[in-house]
């Protein structure tokens, strides 16, 4: 893995904003503006030869590290109660909220690499890698559908998993788990109608962050 | 002269050959396909989002429901990801059990595929033969987990419980006579391992039967040879994995190239195709069933000789024995904490992939140190394969679409997630 990092540093130099090795897997972070250039090097350079894109996905860091239940500091009234509905307010201007993560595989060298790129803007936008790896086509459509990240240069950027005419981007952290609309058959109108959802989200197990030092050997904080 | 236009045809989502809920919009020039636009998402349940709202262990059951014909392999990738983040390794017996059940699952999946693929393109009887053998393997699932399909058997740190010493037997009922029950129970006199060993002995003969029906069958070859050819370079570019990639002649198998569990200690071969057409992919999958049988047999031998723990002894992650909860305060607390809050996984991210029967099944897990995943991404092999359908069917006839869907081994549970 060290050799991989050296190879990458040699070829990409300052384009690597950050790099991190954890559980034997290397992650590099690049600027969104550099993504096409970096990916071309990763694919075409003989020493790297990442000829397959295993996976591409969006990521929303809006509620990263925020727990429903304060466990570290007690107050005079005791621990806070886990009463959050698990929904966070949409704050579009937040820096580094969305990221696109690419998982690359080199069949030649039998190595994997994770590339992360934070995307900003309203809506967030990054260049498409479909011209580089043909397999990225549907992955980018999915990331667009679920996170609302635009991929510049994608041949056919349509929604893929959600319903026809769906509104919103369901995997964003500010999108409620139970959704916004539900469907039912309306016998009077004689068709299926959409209406605001009637169910409420119940948090059965609050999100809790605890530091258990026995298992912290492998992980570090996102900032490195 | 009348104006000639291409015809747009809708295929599915309620079509028996669509393998679930695939809706295809086909642009046809006569009977030749110019463009295919798969519409997916009709089975989208937002598994990944649901997993974000639940403690880690509660999502294992969701994994079964992704690719619902290769249940335990899905679980495997998920628990591997958690184990990597926690930095724990299950006991060696658990790893052998996992490998054995992964291979049983592979046979289950390929039997389902062979039966359905055969049925789609005219080999009706295959379906019946394949389902006959699937029944025995489902019984193995039932013996270890209590359910025939959605097992929830793998746990971070091992497997839920050890293999049963006795194979469950049929009971006499009002509509099942004693003689009938006796006949049904003949194979079930010994342990689960005896049952599997008997299956492994019998199964290669069954594969021979399937091959007698199909491999040199003129109609079968007319429907599959030269259909849906994908050259190896293109297969890699498109992100193909598993039998789809090996059918094109690329020797790539995660069990060999990036071994996990105990695959590096087992003896098996990686079959590859030559032409990259539907027929070669058929041959690859049939040979994989034979290889899986060999792996299962090696695991059975090892498991017979090596008893031991099947899950790590760490009650921060694994519930304590139920008996100890009755008189041990510590166990009671552990049990309570595990089932109300779960365990917290250290902050970090990991990608764990297994050689799933359909290809590379990967789990990308991001943890912010909480008791729930921050983000879970399922890398489903079928999703990638289906995305290439447009390219594969261009220039083929309408009837070949069905062969192509069959050869991709599509299951919508994993594609739509």
Closest by alpha carbon to B255, among B162, B340, B156, B354? Answer: B354
Q: A13 CA to chain B: closest CA distance, Å? A: 24
Please give the pLDDT value at position A215.
67
Judging contacts by C-beta atoms under 8 Å, the chain A residues touching residue B347 are 65, 219-222
Look at residue B350 and tell me whether its pLDDT is greater than 90: yes
Q: Are B279 and B229 in contact (CB under 8 A)?
A: no
A77 close to B (CB below 8 A): no
Look at residue B262 and tell me whether its pLDDT is greater than 70: yes
From chain A residues 86-115, the ones with a CB under 8 A of any chain B CB are: 86, 101, 103, 107, 110, 112, 114
**Nearby residues of B8 by Cβ (< 8 Å), 6 or more positions away:** B25, B26, B27, B28
Q: By percentage, how much of chain B surpasses pLDDT 70?
A: 100
Judging contacts by C-beta atoms under 8 Å, the chain B residues touching residue A100 are none
Closest by alpha carbon to A55, among B410, B231, B390, B383? Answer: B383
Please give the pLDDT value at position A76.
56
pLDDT higher for A96 or B247? B247
Look at residue A91 and tell me whether its pLDDT is greater than 70: no
Residues A110, B417: C-beta atoms closer than 8 Å: no
Please give the pLDDT value at position A221.
39
Judging contacts by C-beta atoms under 8 Å, the chain A residues touching residue B366 are 59
Per-residue pLDDT reduced to its tens digit, B70-81: 999 999 999 999
pLDDT band at A222 (very low <50, low <70, confident <90, very high): very low
Residues A177, B364: C-beta atoms closer than 8 Å: no
Instruction: Give the residue on B whose Cα is nearest the Cα of A137.
Output: B387
Average pLDDT, chain A: 82
Take residue B22 and report the two structure tokens written for it. Answer: 């695939």
pLDDT higher for A78 or B287? B287
Take residue B253 and report the two structure tokens written for it. Answer: 């198998």
Q: Please give the radius of gyration of chain B, using alpha carbons only, rounded to the nearest integer.
A: 23
Look at residue B213 and tell me whether its pLDDT is greater than 70: yes
In the block, tokens 């591997």 appear at B80
- Mean pLDDT computed over A83-96: 62
When CB atoms are compared, the residue of B239, B346, B416 closest to A135 is B239
Please give the pLDDT value at position A73.
61
Q: Please give the radius of gyration of chain A, using alpha carbons only, rounded to the nearest integer.
A: 21
Proportion of chain B in helix, strand, coil states, percent, rounded to 5:
50, 10, 35
Please give the pLDDT value at position A63.
83
From chain A residues 179-198, the ones with a CB under 8 A of any chain B CB are: none
Q: By percentage, how much of chain B surpasses pLDDT 90?
A: 53
Closest by alpha carbon to B362, among B346, B374, B379? Answer: B379
The end-to-end CA distance of chain B, in Å, is 49
Give CA torsion, residues A214, A215, A218, A221, to 10 deg. Answer: -100
Look at residue B242 and tell me whether its pLDDT is greater than 60: yes
Q: Which of A212-221, B168-177, B206-215 has the highest mean pLDDT?
A: B206-215
Look at residue A218 and tell me whether its pLDDT is greater than 50: no
Per-residue pLDDT reduced to its tens digit, B22-75: 888 988 888 899 889 999 988 899 999 999 989 999 999 999 999 889 999 999
Look at residue A80 and tell me whether its pLDDT is greater than 90: no
Judging contacts by C-beta atoms under 8 Å, the chain B residues touching residue A99 are none
Residues B351, A114: C-beta atoms closer than 8 Å: yes
Judging contacts by C-beta atoms under 8 Å, the chain B residues touching residue A215 are 85-88, 344-346
Take residue A146 and report the two structure tokens written for it. Answer: 């679920």
What is the rounded distance in angstroms from the CA atom of residue B35 to the CA atom of residue B28?
7
**Nearby residues of A167 by Cβ (< 8 Å), 6 or more positions away:** A180, A181
ipTM: 0.87
**Nearby residues of B90 by Cβ (< 8 Å), 6 or more positions away:** B83, B98, B157, B158, B159, B310, B311, B312
Residues B44, A161: C-beta atoms closer than 8 Å: yes
Per-residue pLDDT reduced to its tens digit, B308-339: 999 998 888 899 988 888 898 999 999 998 99
Please give the pLDDT value at position A213.
67
3-state secondary structure string, B359-388?
Answer: EEEEEEEEECCECCCCEEEEECHHHHHHHC
Instruction: Give the residue on A whose Cα is nearest the Cα of B353.
Output: A54
Take residue B70 and report the two structure tokens written for it. Answer: 């290769």
- Mean pLDDT computed over A2-21: 82
What is the rounded distance in angstroms from the CA atom of residue B133 to the CA atom of residue B295?
17
Instruction: Give the residue on A whose Cα is nearest the Cα of B343.
Output: A210
A134 close to B (CB below 8 A): yes
Instruction: Give the residue on A whose Cα is nearest the Cα of B234.
Output: A134
Q: B341 CA to chain A: closest CA distance, Å? A: 6
Per-residue pLDDT reduced to its tens digit, B356-403: 999 999 999 999 888 899 999 999 999 999 999 999 998 898 888 888
What is the rounded distance in angstroms from the CA atom of residue A49 to the CA atom of residue B57?
37
Judging contacts by C-beta atoms under 8 Å, the chain B residues touching residue A22 are 348-350
A199 close to B (CB below 8 A): no
- Mean pLDDT computed over A156-167: 89
Residues B236, A51: C-beta atoms closer than 8 Å: yes
Average pLDDT, chain B: 90
pLDDT band at B5 (very low <50, low <70, confident <90, very high): confident
Per-residue pLDDT reduced to its tens digit, A113-149: 999 999 988 888 899 999 999 989 999 999 999 999 9
């Amino acid at each position: 893995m060290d050799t991989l990092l050296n190879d990458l540093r040699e070829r990409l130099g300052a384009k690597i904003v950050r790099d991190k090795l954890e559980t034997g897997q290397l992650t590099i972070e690049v600027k969104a503006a550099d993504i096409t250039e970096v990916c071309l090097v990763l694919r075409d350079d003989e020493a790297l030869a990442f000829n397959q894109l295993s996976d591409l996905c969006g990521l929303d860091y809006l509620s990263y590290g925020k727990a429903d239940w304060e466990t570290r500091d007690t107050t005079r009234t005791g621990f806070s109660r886990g009463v959050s509905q698990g929904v966070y307010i949409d704050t579009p201007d937040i820096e580094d909220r969305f990221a696109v993560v690419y998982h690359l595989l080199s069949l030649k060298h039998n190595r994997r690499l994770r590339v992360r790129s934070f995307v900003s803007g309203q809506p967030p936008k990054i260049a498409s890698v479909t011209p580089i790896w043909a397999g990225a086509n549907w992955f980018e459509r999915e990331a667009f559908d679920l996170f609302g990240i635009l991929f510049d240069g994608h041949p056919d950027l349509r929604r893929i998993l959600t319903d026809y005419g769906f509104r919103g981007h369901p995997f964003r952290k500010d999108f409620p788990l139970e959704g916004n609309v539900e469907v039912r058959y309306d016998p009077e109108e004689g068709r299926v109608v959409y209406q605001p959802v009637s169910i409420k989200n119940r948090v059965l197990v609050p999100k809790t962050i605890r530091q258990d030092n026995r298992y912290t050997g492998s992980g570090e904080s996102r900032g490195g | 002269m009348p104006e000639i236009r291409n015809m747009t045809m809708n295929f599915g989502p309620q079509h028996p050959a669509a393998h679930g809920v695939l809706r295809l919009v086909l642009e046809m020039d006569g009977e030749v396909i110019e463009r295919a636009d798969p519409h997916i998402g009709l089975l989208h349940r937002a598994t990944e989002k649901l997993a974000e709202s639940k403690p880690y262990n509660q999502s294992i059951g969701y994994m079964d429901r992704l690719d619902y014909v290769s249940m335990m392999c899905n679980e495997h990738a998920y628990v591997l990801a958690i184990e990597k983040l926690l930095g724990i390794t299950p006991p060696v017996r658990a790893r052998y059990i996992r490998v054995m059940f992964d291979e049983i699952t592979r046979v289950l999946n390929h039997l389902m595929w062979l039966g359905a693929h055969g049925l789609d393109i005219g080999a009706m009887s295959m379906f019946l033969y394949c389902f006959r053998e699937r029944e025995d393997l489902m019984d193995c699932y039932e013996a270890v987990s209590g359910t025939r399909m959605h097992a929830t058997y793998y746990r971070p740190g091992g497997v839920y419980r050890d293999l049963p010493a006795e194979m469950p037997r049929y009971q006499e009922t009002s509509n099942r006579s004693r003689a009938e029950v006796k006949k049904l129970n003949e194979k079930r006199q010994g342990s689960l391992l005896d049952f599997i060993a008997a299956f492994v002995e019998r199964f290669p003969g069954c594969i021979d039967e399937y091959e007698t029906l199909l491999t040199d069958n003129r109609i079968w070859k007319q429907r599959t040879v030269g259909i849906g050819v994908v050259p190896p370079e293109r297969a890699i570019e498109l992100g193909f994995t598993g039998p789809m990639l090996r059918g094109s002649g690329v020797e790539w198998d995660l069990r060999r190239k990036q071994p996990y569990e105990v695959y590096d200690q087992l003896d098996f071969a990686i079959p590859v195709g030559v032409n990259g057409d539907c027929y070669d992919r058929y041959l690859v999958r049939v040979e994989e069933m034979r290889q899986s049988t060999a792996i299962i047999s090696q695991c059975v031998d090892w498991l017979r000789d090596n008893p031991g723990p099947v899950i790590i002894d760490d009650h921060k992650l694994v519930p304590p024995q139920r008996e100890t909860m009755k008189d041990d305060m510590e166990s009671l607390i552990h049990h309570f904490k595990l089932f109300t809050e779960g365990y917290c996984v250290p902050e970090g991210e990991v990608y764990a992939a297994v050689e799933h029967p359909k290809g590379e099944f990967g789990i990308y897990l991001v943890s912010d140190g909480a008791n729930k995943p921050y983000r879970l991404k399922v890398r489903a092999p079928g999703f990638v394969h289906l995305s290439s359908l447009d390219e594969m069917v261009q220039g083929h006839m309408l009837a070949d679409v069905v062969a192509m869907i069959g050869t991709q081994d599509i299951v919508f549970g994993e594609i739509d997630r």
